[in-house]
Amino acid sequence: MRLAVFSILGVLAVSATVSVSAAPVATPSPVPTPRAELKEIGRVRARSPYCAAFVHHFNASAHALLEHDASIGLVDYTYSDITRTFDEMGGDLKRIDERKKLAAYSDQLLRAIPAAQAEIDALRNASSLTSDPQQAKDNHELAKQLQRVLDRQKQIATDASGVVRALMEYDSQPRSAADSHLPGSYDEDRSKMPPDMLDVKKYVRIDELRDRIGDAESSAAGIADTIETRCS
């Protein structure tokens, strides 16, 4: 069965047997609090060695992380395209193209991450340049939030590489007539599979990871604003 590809993905372990529980009672969703947007700091007249280091390394870190976010958006979009190929006529050929795109995006991310890590490390080390305990504490927390962003971005890139490897293995397997079904037709094997196994995005939890990235970026933006004010 063609969609059995998700059973060989190494990114998550999903049991073939799922328990059925009662549907939870619907509750109103809380109104989301607007997030502060991570952005580079404009021109600041640094009054100390710490402030100069803060502006330089924060801007370099923020620039890199925002570029990673753009690449992750492409990964997210490609996951949806890959999922659709299993129900499209000619999907096997389309999936090869999408797999190559995904490989390029994940490789780009993985190559870029070490440079971003170096900037976050330099920002963290800049705490030693200030004699202000609160400023040093804020700087450590800022680096901590940026590290959380980068760690989750790295996880997304690693997951994408795992999906690429699994698809390469799957598409290299010999096929028989029994393995295929007409696009859009009823598939008994597919009907027995948990819904999350039929959607690559849900399988690798990319929406959850992106949400956590947004939380950490918002926290970092607020801390950076506080430090910038003290440096101005």
The span from the CA of 160 to the CA of 166, in Å, is 10
| Terminal-to-terminal C-alpha distance of the chain | 63
Asked if residue 17 is part of any domain, the answer here is no
33 pLDDT more than 90: no
DSSP 8-state symbol, 16: S
Asked if residue 167 is part of any domain, the answer here is yes
DSSP 8-state symbol, 127: G
164 pLDDT more than 50: yes
pLDDT, mean of residues 53-64: 96
Sign of CA dihedral 110, 114, 115, 117: positive
Over residues 90-141, the pLDDT tens digits come to 778 888 899 999 999 999 999 999 999 999 999 999 999 999 999 999 999 9
CB 147 within 8 A of CB 123: no
Residue 77's Cβ-side half-sphere holds a number of Cα atoms within 13 Å equal to: 8
Asked if residue 126 is part of any domain, the answer here is yes
Mean pLDDT rounded to a whole number for the chain: 80
pLDDT, mean of residues 160-175: 83
| Token pair of 28 as six digits | 């109103």
| Token pair of 7 as six digits | 């059973």
Query: Which residue segment(s) compose the domain that 126 sits in?
Result: 45-173+183-231
CA dihedral angle for residue 122, residue 127, residue 128, residue 134, rounded to 10 degrees? 180
- 179 confidence band (pLDDT: 50, 70, 90): low
Determine which of 13-17, 69-73, 108-112, 138-142 has the lowest per-residue pLDDT on average: 13-17
Residue percentage of the chain with pLDDT more than 90: 55
Asked if residue 76 is part of any domain, the answer here is yes
Evaluate if pTM is beyond 0.75.
yes
CB 216 within 8 A of CB 33: no
Asked if residue 87 is part of any domain, the answer here is yes
Give the pLDDT of residue 196. 52
| Token pair of 104 as six digits | 């390029």
The span from the CA of 170 to the CA of 166, in Å, is 6
Asked if residue 110 is part of any domain, the answer here is yes
Asked if residue 154 is part of any domain, the answer here is yes
Q: Which amino acid type is present at position 27? A: T
More confident residue, 87 or 191: 87
Burial class from Cβ neighbours inside 10 Å (0-12, 13-18, 19+) for residue 135 reads buried
Number of domains in the chain: 1
Asked if residue 11 is part of any domain, the answer here is no
Give the pLDDT of residue 177. 52
The span from the CA of 159 to the CA of 204, in Å, is 7
